Structure 1
Amino acid sequence: MAEYKISINQLASFSTSSEYKKRAIVKQQKTPPKVLVARYGLAKARIRKAIANYGNIQPILEGIEELKSRTPEKPFDINNKIVSIEAMERFIKMKLPVFLQDNVYEVLKKPKINSFHVSDVEIIVSADLIIKVFIDGQPFLGGVKIHISKGDPFDTHRSKYVTTCLYQYLDLIFESSGEIVLPELCLSVDVFADSITSAPKKLEKVLEDIEMICLEIKKIWPLV
């Protein structure tokens, strides 16, 4: 087990956080709750299904109706229902990138390894989808990471950390297969930012920034 670790969405949040918030993020990653309740699980599952099916919104519509029929009592569950419905309603208005609209693609089985390491820090990717897109008959790989946070939507700057980590992970995982991972196929879908961001074509500067973030995480880790 890695001594230092962080998820890519938390890494993106860390990149622009205050010193206090950075320590809170590292503390949560260092000592995660024993019982972790997945937030917005149904919404994410339906969004994944919609993307996997070429943007077909039927799974989204069914998910909205399913949640509307529920009558949660606990504050957490009530909030989860409200935000999940809004997230799905917002996704319906979003358009998939042109290369997903115009080309055939398939969803691949997720590898057992869901992370990679930078400067001894394990970056947990847990891609929501890994896709193989056929462009002019040639296969290329990419992936999707979904972000649902009404209080902290990602701007383009933070989304690029997510997509660059996604690219780097896929490039390492599929290195031996000889298949090519395209930056433009590595996507951060942020419903509350109304954005679908792809990885930059020039990755070097972002990768340098990610390395500096990981070094900062290592510095804070023993202090929290």
Structure 2
Amino acid sequence: MLKERVEPRISVNKLGEYAATNSATRRRRIVLDQKKPKDFIVSRYSDAQDLVADFLSGNLDYEDLLDKVDEFRNTTASTDWQENRNKVCAEALLSFIDMADKLDFGSLVLTKGEQTPPRLLVQSVSVSIKPELLITKHKRSGDSVAGAVKLHMSKSYTMSDNAGSYAATMLQQFVEANSQFPCDRRLCYVVDVFGQRIFTAPRSHIRRRKAIEASCEEINRAWPEL
């Protein structure tokens, strides 16, 4: 059963896709899915996302992830939905394990993000960022800077260069608005697990933020008509 959201809102990864595509049909579909989301879209990968966050924050190791893959594969599901969810979570973990060596955070301090963090309001659209991990870097000077990690898990859609850059730009904006320390854009990572790519917030963001604002203005106008 579909639920309908009254106020315009969108997730950061979908906003990145929206801003990057020129297809009016695809844009309409993205907004419609955000207004009337199916439950499985929201929660399908949540277990895998939590496990990857635990791994990156140092609470799990490779063997733990492989054990979880076996657990997903061997657990008897009571519904087709649960069976499919176990399957895609196992696949997500295996894809992440293949790319995990690209993520070397060195001496950075990583902590798991809040379950209900603040949203960003852009042109009357509520943008859900919800980073899985928050980053703090303590510099030798005694100062500290901040960043974050946002995971993207979707077998059906892997991020393009533009979509990843837009999402990372929004992640940087979230850190700027919510961290006690100055944001270092180089510490703002969007990780596309199935695409096995890592996007970092770009040096130049003014044009991208204007494009994001224009996208949100379009979403706000389209929302009542869908």
* TM-score with structure 1 setting the length: 0.86
1:169-190 CA distance string (max 9 Å, x none): 110113xx3x111111111111
Q: Which residue of 1 aligns with 2:118?
A: 114
Q: Which residue of 1 aligns with 2:151?
A: 146
- Give unpaired runs (5+ residues) of structure 1: none
Contact 1:43-1:88 within 8 A present in 2 as well: yes
1:210 matched to 2:212? The reply is yes
| 1:168 pairs with one of 165, 169, 173 | 173
**d(CA) in 1 for partners of 2:215 and 2:166?**
10
Q: Which residue of 1 aligns with 2:128?
A: 124
1:31 Cα offset (Å): 3.4
**Matching of residues 19-38 of structure 1 within 5 Å:** 19-33=24-38, 38=43
Q: Which residue of 1 aligns with 2:74?
A: 69
**d(CA) in 1 for partners of 2:60 and 2:51?**
11
**d(CA) in 1 for partners of 2:48 and 2:24?**
32
Q: Which amino acid aligns with 2:88?
A: V
| 1:198 pairs with one of 187, 197, 200 | 200
CA change 1:206–1:36 in 2 (3 A) is: closer
CA change 1:210–1:2 in 2 (3 A) is: farther
Q: Which residue of 1 aligns with 2:17?
A: 13
Contact 1:187-1:196 within 8 A present in 2 as well: yes
What's the Cα RMSD here?
2.5
**Matching of residues 51-90 of structure 1 within 5 Å:** 51-53=56-58, 56-72=61-77, 74-90=79-95
Contact 2:116-2:130 within 8 A present in 1 as well: no
- Give unpaired runs (5+ residues) of structure 2: none
Secondary structure, aligned partner of 1:66: helix
Determine what percentage of the aligned residue pairs are the same residue.
26
1:34 Cα offset (Å): 7.3
Q: Which moved further from structure 2: 107-116 or 118-127?
A: 107-116
* TM-score with structure 2 setting the length: 0.86
**d(CA) in 1 for partners of 2:214 and 2:34?**
18
Q: Which amino acid aligns with 1:69?
A: N
CA change 1:164–1:2 in 2 (3 A) is: farther
**d(CA) in 2 for partners of 1:76 and 1:35?**
8
Q: Which residue of 2 aligns with 1:134?
A: 138
| 2:98 pairs with one of 53, 76, 93 | 93
Question: Which segments of structure 1 move beyond 6 Å, counting only runs of 4 or more?
Answer: none
1:118 Cα offset (Å): 1.3
1:49 Cα offset (Å): 0.6
**d(CA) in 2 for partners of 1:157 and 1:35?**
26
